[in-house]
Amino acid sequence: MTPNRVIGVDLGGTKILAGIVDRDGVVHDRVERPTVTTSQTALLDQLADVVRELPLDGIAAVGFGIPSRIDFATGLALGAVNIPIRDVYFAREMEERLGLPIEMENDASCAAFAEFRLGAGQGADDLMAITLGTGVGGGVVSGGKLFRAYTELGHMVIVEDGEPCQGACSGRGHVETYCSGTAADALARRVIGPDATARDLVEQQHPALEEIGHHLGVAIGSLVNIFGSTRVVIGGGFGIAAFDLLVPAARLAVLREALAPSGQTLEIERAQLGTEAGLIGAALIAYDAL
């Protein structure tokens, strides 16, 4: 049999999702493991182990979505904020471990691409996806094509000299500082109690979520002024769970910050592919490269 299927892998700050994905985006034989963060080598080894848990018969390539900036000229993964990835030729390392062709892209760009092709972004040629998870990721489709750049939308400054960002990021006042699931956990501890998490904020439909929604809307308004997106898709574990509670405040901020008529016409949608968007997008990118 000619190898004709691909594996998609989504490397997240807390978990790794992998699965065999067919061309229609249907995921088979899904594997989920907590992310090993002890060292870069341990993490790369674990990624290979997770892929090997899947049946490799008929597999033509593996696509990885990784939360890192990528230098596409050299294949260097420059660095991740929340996991130990830094200055590593990621695709080469995985090729050596797996003996299969490897494609890689930023994880949130993968999610954006999957939503564009198969989910909440269908029909919009100028699309932005923002994933609210451990960190905040972003991806942009412009003129029907995935914009392959850093697109670290989560590390855009929305509060000058604001609160320190998280992980390996030296910045302050970034979107991730205020809108990530991690930030929501911290907010929950402040407004509910020491054991509370983002999940409690969502379950209680807590008004503090408006604060996060406002920050998110400020970010979206600015980004729409740059990219001209007509639709924004909100994904990631926290983003999907809290979507209905974040959007009203976000919408108000977008109305103010985005230049007319974008504020009025921008569509804000919940991701349809759920937390599988990243792995599906990574697979689609690997298919496109075959």
69 near Zn ion (CB under 5 A) = no
Closest to Zn ion by CB, 157 vs 255, is: 157
- CA 6 to centroid of chain Cα atoms: 20
Tell me whether residue 134 or residue 262 sits nearer to Zn ion (CB atom). 134
Structural contact between residues 17 and 34, judged by C-beta atoms closer than 8 angstroms: no
Q: Is the peptide bond before 67 cis (omega within 30 degrees of 0)?
A: no
Segment 27 to 66, residues that bind Zn ion, using CB under 5 A: none
Site string for Zn ion, 114-153 (x = CB under 5 A): ----------------------------------------
Q: Is 174 in the site for Zn ion (CB under 5 A)?
A: yes
CA dist 14 → 76, 157, 257 (Å): 22, 24, 33
CB 267 within 8 A of CB 258: no
Is the CB of 174 or the CB of 231 nearer to Zn ion? 174
- According to DSSP, the β-strands at 231-235 and 127-132 are parallel
Residue 1 gets which letter from DSSP? -
Helices and strands (H, E) in the chain, number of each type: 10, 13
Q: Give the integer Cα–Cα distance in Å for 140 and 163.
A: 26
Q: Which stretch binds Zn ion (CB under 5 A): 1-9, 69-77, 101-109, 175-183?
A: 175-183
Stretch of residues binding Zn ion (CB under 5 A), selected from 33-41, 60-68, 166-174, 224-232: 166-174
Cβ neighbours of residue 96 closer than 8 Å, sequence gap 6 or more: none
In whole angstroms, the minimum distance from the beta carbon of 148 to Zn ion comes to 21
Rg value, the chain, Cα:
18
Binding residues for Zn ion, rule CB under 5 A, total: 6
Give which of 266, 237, 241 is closest to 252, Cα–Cα.
266
Nearer to Zn ion (CB atom), residue 177 or residue 229: 177
Q: Which is nearer to Zn ion, 3 or 162 (CB)?
A: 162
Q: Which residue number, 109 or 180, has a Cβ lying nearer to Zn ion?
A: 180
Would you say 91 or 169 has its CB closer to Zn ion?
A: 169
Out of 158, 169, 198, 234, the residue judged to bind Zn ion by CB under 5 A? 169
Check binding of 165 to Zn ion (CB under 5 A): yes
Task: Enumerate binding residues for Zn ion (CB under 5 A).
Answer: 155, 165, 169, 171, 174, 176
